[in-house]
Structures are given as structure tokens and as C-alpha cells.
Amino acid sequence: MDLCSAPQLGSLYVTPMLEGKTAVVTGSGRGIGKATALLLAEQGASLVVSDRDGQEAQETVAEIVQHGGRAIGLPGDVTSDAFADELISAAIDSFGSVDIIVNNAGYAWDAVLAKMTDAQWDAMLAVHLTAPFRILRAAAPFLKEAAKREEAEGRKAMRKIVNVSSTSGLRGQVGQANYATCKAGILGLTKTVAREWGRYHVNCNAVVFGWIATRMTDASGVAGNERAGAPAGVPAAVLRQIEEATPLGRRGTVEEAAGAILFLSSPLSDFITGHALCVDGGLTM
């Protein structure tokens, strides 16, 4: 085969890989989450688009629907106490199932450890660890009952969980004691769920992102967080150093990040679980 004319991933299948599946993607109003929602929809999944910003969530929904997909938007904060149950209920009520959960929502709020406040620490725990835990706990009854029902019918359907981690959780990062701790912690949660839920035909994996070109990693004068009144982004000099240290010499695109999530959400990964897939241009190899 002429490699220049080789088919794209989706074209290897007569029908889309995720036809008939329902996917929940948190933080899918923009960035990696939006790219993921669009790609999963392109592969046939019905989407629950979740984001704090209701307008951005609806823009993602509109784009999916415009291209013939099925999607609903659920605005809200993943850290609120009732949101996990609302999210899973929305998927089941709207589409009858939960087959793919992508725990992507998050942000950074940086400071060196000596100057980090309790509010900064607690905020990262809430969004990067407690929220995914609650969402998976809320989904557990459906996942277990669906597996038992399908086994009784003599069939098996694999369901997918993809948790988003970061190279900060593998290597540490100056100014990110809170964020790095949480991104390491999500790997422990991933492996534990993989062990507990394999019997229910659930693959639970993580993507470990390096520097992906999003607003969070855009160059700015100072690293900060919009919620705290500081601009998002990283100092331009730091960004240049990271790109120089990356063997591929650049940041990844949100589409490349979404491609890794699609892989772990698809039948191509049916015998992969408890794995942390580094998507970092070779930074941590």
C-alpha cells in the first residue's frame, strides 16, 4: 500500500467504531475536551457534553448536531456535590446507556509550595480527583447491571473509562505541587478501577498528556489561573525550554490528544486496562 494514500483510522471500519455508544466527556466546551467530543461523535457516539461554561457546551453540541451527530449539553461544575449523579442520569435518560466516560475537566492554579494556599490545594483535589471519583461512583450501578444483563443474554459489551493525567504527575513540576499530586493520584484511581471493574467488562485507562497547545499552555507573562484573577498560560521562556526538551520539538495539538482518547475509547483497546498512555512527544521516554 502506498503510505501516502493509507486510510485514516476511522476509514478502516465500514461503520464508525463507536456506533450505538454513549460517551460522557467533562470539560468539553473547548480545548482537548471539545476535540475529543467532536472526534467521538464523528465515530458514531452520542455525546453528553459537560462544561462549566454553558454557552461553550452548547457550541460543541451545535457543532456535533450540525454534522449529523447526537449530543446534549449539561452545563455545571464537576466539583458540585450533586453534579456526578446529574451527569450520569442525563446520559441514561437521553440515550439509554453510558459506554464511555472521559474525565477531562480541570485547570491549573500554580504557586511554589511555600506560597501555596489551602484554597489552591483544595481546588485541585476537588476537580482532578474528587470529581472523577464521584462520576465513576455514580456510574457504577449502571455499569454493573448492564454487564450482568448482557452476560445473561449471552453477549459481552466492553465499556471504557479514560482519565486524563499529565506528565506533571510523573515527573513533578515546579509550582505545581497541587496539580502534580492530583495527576499522580488519578493514575492510582485508574489502576484500582481497572482491577475492580474488569469483571464488569470495563477498560479503565489514563492518558498522560505532555504539552498540548491549549489556552492553559499558551505563552503569557506569568503562570496563573483566571479564577484567581491571573491570566492562564505559562511564561514564554518556560514554554521554549519545554519545546526544546521534547524530542518532537513542539507541543501536541488538541486533535492529537483526542486521537489517543479515541483509541482508549474504541474496540482497538479492548485488551488494554490499567494502562497510562503517555502522549507527550517523547518528553518522558
Q: What is the pLDDT of residue 226?
A: 56
- The answer to whether the CB of 95 falls within 8 A of the CB of 44 is no
Alpha-carbon span 38 to 29, nearest angstrom = 10
Residue 180: is it exposed, middle or buried by C-beta count within 10 angstroms (0-12/13-18/19+)?
Answer: buried
Q: How far is the CA of 106 from the CAs of 95, 103, 133, 163, in angstroms? A: 26, 9, 14, 11
Q: What pLDDT score was predicted for residue 138?
A: 98
Select which of 13, 107, 179, 200 is catalytic: 179
Tell me which CATH code domain 17-279 carries: 3.40.50.720
Give residue 26's pLDDT.
Answer: 98
Where is 234: in which H helix or E strand? strand 234-235
Contacts of 250 (CB under 8 A, 6+ apart): 243, 281
Q: What angle do CA 261, 264, 265 make, to 5 degrees?
A: 85
Tens-place pLDDT, residues 130-189 = 999 999 999 999 999 999 999 999 999 999 999 999 999 999 999 999 999 999 999 999
Share of the chain above pLDDT 70, in %: 90
Could you tell me the residue ranges of all domains in the chain?
17-279
Grid cell locating 224? 496563573
Q: Which of 84, 79, 100, 86 is nearest to 18 (CA)?
A: 100
Per-residue pLDDT at 11: 46
Assessment of whether the complete model's pTM goes beyond 0.95: no
- Element (DSSP H or E) covering residue 94: helix 83-95
| Bridge partners, 26 (sequence order) | 50
pLDDT tier, 222 (very low <50, low <70, confident <90, very high otherwise): very low
Q: What is the pLDDT of residues 70-125, one digit of tens each?
A: 999 999 999 999 999 999 999 999 999 999 999 999 999 999 999 999 999 999 99
Average pLDDT of the chain, as a whole number: 91
Catalytic site includes residue 13? no
